[in-house]
């Protein structure tokens, strides 16, 4: 079977039409949306993309990472540092970034899995490594220390160096998000994907029936870290600045987890739906809180929304929505 046929195997025609329509809409969106709308859509795609990456580890393989900022931070810093110091463009630098993040992921993963840390313990290990790296970068001169690393802001489009306005970054993150969606679909349908689900549901039973548990978990963390580092590189060049305080913050790691959890863990559309819901709510609450002039009000609304969602839709918004809309996808 050709790849396309395999990807679409068993997907009802109306779902395919829906997806095609969505893709066309996203491709022409910049022409339809204003500057503000585009910036919001960029955020949605960014969170959908990192959400997919994180979902591979937690949603598919069942390993709770609360330190994914490590991979985004390392990736972003390396690509930006190479560009800043040596003028090496991100298209080349990204390979180093991905490599470094994969190495970081395999170190964290190997230590965690080899010493069979699970659940909260594994999550704390990931936090510890991320925090450790944050403090190290705070004291590392090459990356600017706690003062930060700044790229020259330049709106002239220079694709080889990934310099340009929001439009360029929109299409890059769109390509990443679409790519991640396809990759996740391929992975889920593969033998590896089935192994992951088996490990997620019952690691001991999986081990007993001959699933190479350690190897499968390692592959999950490396793929997830590598994909997350791409988001870090994109983020560094989009915002043109990097600070250890924010790049490796626990808050950033938590941000990465929200879209897939809110949307529906372990589903393909969960991270996308979650990103739409969260970014949408964030924008609404920003507008709303500007009416009142109380600091922290936006976050209070946000916290309330999270509370309501997790209390009434603990399995996520998408599985519920999919059922309403008559689509089949459930958490596997």
Partner 1 sequence: MTADFFLSLAQAISKGLLTGMVYGLMALGLSVIFGVMRVVNFAHGEIMVVGMYLAWMGFEYLQVSPMLSLPVIAAMFFVAGYALQRTVISPFIGRPEHQQFLLLLAIAILLVNACLAIAGPDARGVQMDSQFESYELGPFVFDAVRVHAAVTAVVIAGLLWLFFTRTRTGKSIRAAADNNLGALVVGLDVRQLYAFTFGVGAACVGAAGALMITIIPVTPFLAAEYTLLAFVIVIVGGLGSMTGALAGGLLIGVSEAVAGLLLQPSLKSMVSFGILILVLLLRPQGLFGKSGT
Q: How far is the CB of 169 from partner 1 (least distance, A)?
A: 28
Number of helices followed by number of strands (H, E) in the chain: 15, 2
What phi, psi does 242 have (nearest 5°)? -140, 130
Beta partners for 242?
149
What residues between 37 and 96 interact with partner 1 by CB under 8 A? 58, 64, 66
Per-residue contact track with partner 1, 148 to 187, x per CB under 8 A? ----------------------------------------
- Answer for which of 95, 121, 142, 205 binds partner 1 (CB under 8 A) is 121
Place of tokens 């009434």: 312
Measure the CA–CA gap between 47 and 29, rounded to whole angstroms. 18
Would you give the DSSP letter of residue 59? I
- Answer for which of 109, 302, 317, 318 binds partner 1 (CB under 8 A) is 302
Residue 138 or 329 having the CB closest to partner 1: 138
Would you give the DSSP letter of residue 160? G
Among the candidate windows 160-168, 177-185, 212-220, 256-264, which touches partner 1 by CB under 8 A? 256-264
Per-residue contact track with partner 1, 280 to 299, x per CB under 8 A? --------------xxxx-x
For the chain, give the number of residues: 332
Among the candidate windows 5-13, 45-53, 79-87, 118-126, which touches partner 1 by CB under 8 A? 118-126
Beta partners for 132?
none
Among the candidate windows 4-12, 30-38, 132-140, 155-163, which touches partner 1 by CB under 8 A? 132-140
**How far from each other are the two terminal CA atoms of the chain, in whole angstroms?**
24
Measure the CA–CA gap between 199 and 212, rounded to whole angstroms. 9
Residue 25 or 304 having the CB closest to partner 1: 304
Measure the CA–CA gap between 322 and 12, rounded to whole angstroms. 13
Among the candidate windows 7-15, 40-48, 82-90, 309-317, which touches partner 1 by CB under 8 A? 309-317
Distance of CA 310 to the CA centre of its chain: 20
Closest to 216 (Cα-Cα) out of 193, 236, 234: 193
Interface residue list for partner 1 (CB under 8 A)? 58, 64, 66, 111, 115, 117, 119-121, 123-125, 127-129, 131-132, 135-136, 138-139, 146, 250-251, 254, 257-258, 261-262, 265, 294-297, 299-300, 302-304, 306-307, 310-311, 314
């Amino acid at each position: 079977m050709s790849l396309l046929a395999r990807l679409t195997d068993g997907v009802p025609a109306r779902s395919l039409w829906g997806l095609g329509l969505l893709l066309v809409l996203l491709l022409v969106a910049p022409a339809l949306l204003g500057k503000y709308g585009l910036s919001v859509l960029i955020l949605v795609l960014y969170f959908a993309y990192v959400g997919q990456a994180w979902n591979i580890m937690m949603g598919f393989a069942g390993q709770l990472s609360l330190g994914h900022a490590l991979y985004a931070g390392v990736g972003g810093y390396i690509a930006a540092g190479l560009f800043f110091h040596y003028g090496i463009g991100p298209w080349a630098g990204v390979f180093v970034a991905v490599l470094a993040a994969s190495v970081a992921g395999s170190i964290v993963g190997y230590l965690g899995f080899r010493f069979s840390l699970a659940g909260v313990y594994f999550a704390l290990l990931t936090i510890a490594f991320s925090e450790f790296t944050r403090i190290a970068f705070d004291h590392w001169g090459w990356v600017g220390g706690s003062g930060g690393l700044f790229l020259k802001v330049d709106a002239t489009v220079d694709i080889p160096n990934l310099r340009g306005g929001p439009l360029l970054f929109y299409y890059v993150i769109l390509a990443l998000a679409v790519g991640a969606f396809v990759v996740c679909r391929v992975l889920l349908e593969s033998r590896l994907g089935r192994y992951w689900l088996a490990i997620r549901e019952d690691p001991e039973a999986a081990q007993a029936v001959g699933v190479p548990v350690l190897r499968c978990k390692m592959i999950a963390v490396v793929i997830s870290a590598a994909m997350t580092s791409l988001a870090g590189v994109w983020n560094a060049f989009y915002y043109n600045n990097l600070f250890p305080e924010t790049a490796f913050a626990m808050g950033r790691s938590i941000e990465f987890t929200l879209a897939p959890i809110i949307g529906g863990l372990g589903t393909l559309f969960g991270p996308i739906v979650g990103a739409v819901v969260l970014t949408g709510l964030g924008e609404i609450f920003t507008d709303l809180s500007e009416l009142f002039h109380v600091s922290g009000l936006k976050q209070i609304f946000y916290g309330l929304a999270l509370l309501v969602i997790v209390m009434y839709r603990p399995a996520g918004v998408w599985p519920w929505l999919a059922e309403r809309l008559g689509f089949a996808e459930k958490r596997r």
